[in-house]
């Protein structure tokens, strides 16, 4: 009898346990999806606004170096960028070029702006030199507002490929003309243009600045102009060519964050149909081409602050998709280089870079203009230089060429930080993709860079509350 009671007790326990498991499963099936589906809908619904962000030349080693730079600067135990939590995948970067298998910025931007591969140097045209429709044109057709915020000149490859068409990125004056002349339904394609490049818009043969002004654009020349401008459309040209590195920038020139916030404020006013904004940290690439680690970290920091402003807007708005990526990597930067030993430690060291008050570009120009090597180096570098380091710059100064002097100063920072470079050009590895907000799921996984454009077209052209 005791034995049967024990069997009964086991059977009863089994029945109760099974019932509890079924209850949990049913509760999970019928209750928790309410919140899960709400979260899913938030990520899969059509976003009202799109902020597409490009770190030009920003490969993974550069991101890793910036994390370490930031960690050292803020004495933080955890080095993380504002975009790190939103990693969703990687993208390929190669062009469709008869000779090259490593992209330039024009072909990469064309792929992302149009969803089509093309040859290097091409600005949103195919191999037959025919225009390829861009996501910006689709946005304008959908009555969305549009804005470009860049640290390059506005005619540079990335903004050019998103906003114009040309057989070659080198035709900068033609590209500037196209920003005014190419229209959608009688309207300029880009409502807000902020960056550098005054020399391409204010020329002897054509004054595009005045033409934009007559069309209703506010013309901005300094960051103080943001306070007084009242137009829905803006043309901000803050330097003659690309903007100086952030660490070297004159006080009147806005940061990338300043421009981002000004553009978002304007775009969000009377925002019925949404907006498309291109944000580019263009001069990360310029510093990479120069193999200038001081300039690269300066531009990464400037870029991160702008990205943070974009993400803050999106988090508050809850209707904005933010995509962050790179077009390619530049310079073949390595996080660690020759000279590291078990005695020195296997360590990329940001401390010497943080000691720079200006870039080697800035210092080299001062020396080439006649200032003494000692004066320039000691004014702008906050660590004690060795006799050999000073001598190598003095020897370079005898050439009278700023570029030679610059390389000699950069060598000091490279050797002290253990920064390596393999080229003054681009490299062809895949680059990361980050996404936040509604629609982010489309950008997950390992994708080709043309998928960016295809995804953006699908979002812009899909029926929604904002774009019926």
Structure tokens at 171: 């035709």
Q: How many angstroms separate the CA atoms of 29 and 36, rounded?
A: 11
Given the residues 76, 105, 152, 399, select the one marked as catalytic: 105
Residue (of 190, 447, 244) closest to 361 by Cα position = 244
Q: How many angstroms separate the CA atoms of 190 and 361, rounded?
A: 32
Q: How many angstroms separate the CA atoms of 244 and 454, rounded?
A: 34
CA dihedral sign of residues 113, 116, 120, 124: negative
User: By CB neighbour count within 10 A (0-12 exposed, 13-18 middle, 19+ buried), where does 92 fall?
Assistant: middle
Specify the 3-state DSSP secondary structure of 356: strand
Q: How many angstroms separate the CA atoms of 161 and 122, rounded?
A: 8
Q: How many angstroms separate the CA atoms of 100 and 91, rounded?
A: 18
Contact, 292 vs 257, CB < 8 A? Answer: no
Q: How many angstroms separate the CA atoms of 426 and 168, rounded?
A: 18
Residue (of 95, 96, 93, 63) closest to 80 by Cα position = 63
Contact, 280 vs 324, CB < 8 A? Answer: no
Eight-class DSSP state of 124: S
Taking CA atoms, 318 is separated from 37, 39, 251, 312, 465, in Å, by 16, 12, 34, 10, 15
Q: How many angstroms separate the CA atoms of 39 and 56, rounded?
A: 32
Q: Is residue 105 among the annotated active site residues?
A: yes
Q: How many angstroms separate the CA atoms of 50 and 272, rounded?
A: 14
Residue (of 169, 211, 212) closest to 190 by Cα position = 212
- Residues labelled as active-site residues: 105
């Amino acid at each position: 009898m005791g034995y049967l009671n024990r069997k009964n007790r086991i059977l009863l326990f089994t029945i109760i346990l099974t019932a509890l498991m079924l209850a949990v499963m049913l509760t999970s099936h019928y209750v928790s999806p309410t919140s899960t589906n709400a979260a899913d809908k938030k990520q899969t619904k059509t976003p009202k606004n799109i902020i597409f962000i490009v770190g030009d030349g920003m490969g993974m080693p550069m991101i890793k170096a910036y994390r370490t730079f930031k960690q050292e600067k803020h004495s933080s135990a955890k080095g993380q960028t504002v975009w790190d939590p939103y990693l969703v995948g990687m993208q390929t970067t190669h062009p469709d070029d008869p000779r090259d298998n490593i992209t330039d910025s024009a072909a990469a931007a064309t792929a992302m702006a149009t969803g089509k591969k093309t040859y290097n140097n091409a600005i949103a045209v195919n191999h037959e030199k025919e225009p390829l429709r861009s996501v910006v044109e689709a946005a304008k057709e959908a009555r969305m507002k549009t804005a470009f915020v860049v640290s390059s000149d506005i005619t540079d490859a990335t903004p050019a490929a998103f906003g114009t068409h040309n057989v070659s990125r080198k035709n900068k004056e033609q590209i500037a003309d196209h920003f005014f002349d190419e229209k959608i339904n009688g309207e300029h394609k880009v409502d807000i243009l902020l960056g550098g490049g005054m020399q391409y818009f204010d020329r002897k043969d054509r004054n595009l600045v005045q033409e934009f002004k007559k069309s209703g654009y506010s013309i901005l020349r300094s960051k103080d102009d943001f306070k007084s401008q009242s137009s829905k459309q803006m043309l901000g040209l803050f330097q003659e060519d690309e903007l100086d590195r952030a660490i070297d920038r004159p006080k009147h020139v806005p940061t990338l964050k300043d421009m981002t916030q000004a553009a978002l404020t304007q775009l969000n006013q009377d925002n019925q149909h949404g907006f498309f904004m291109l944000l580019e940290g263009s001069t990360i690439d310029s510093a990479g081409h120069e193999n200038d680690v001081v300039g690269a970290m300066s531009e990464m920091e400037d870029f991160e602050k702008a990205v943070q402003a974009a993400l803050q807007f999106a988090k508050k708005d809850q209707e904005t998709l933010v995509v962050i990526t790179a077009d390619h990597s530049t310079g073949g930067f390595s996080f660690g280089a020759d000279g590291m030993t078990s005695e020195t430690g296997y360590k990329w060291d940001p401390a010497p870079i943080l000691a720079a008050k200006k870039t080697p570009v800035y210092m080299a120009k001062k020396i080439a203009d006649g200032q003494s090597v000692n004066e320039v180096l000691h004014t702008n570098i906050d660590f004690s230089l060795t006799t050999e380091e000073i001598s190598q710059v003095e020897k370079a100064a005898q050439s009278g060429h700023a570029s030679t002097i610059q390389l000699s100063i950069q060598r000091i920072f490279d050797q002290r930080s253990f920064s390596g470079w393999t080229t003054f050009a681009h490299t062809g590895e895949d680059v990361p993709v980050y996404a936040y907000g509604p629609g982010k799921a489309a950008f997950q996984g390992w994708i080709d860079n043309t998928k960016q454009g295809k995804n953006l077209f699908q979002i812009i052209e899909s029926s929604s509350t904002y774009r019926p």
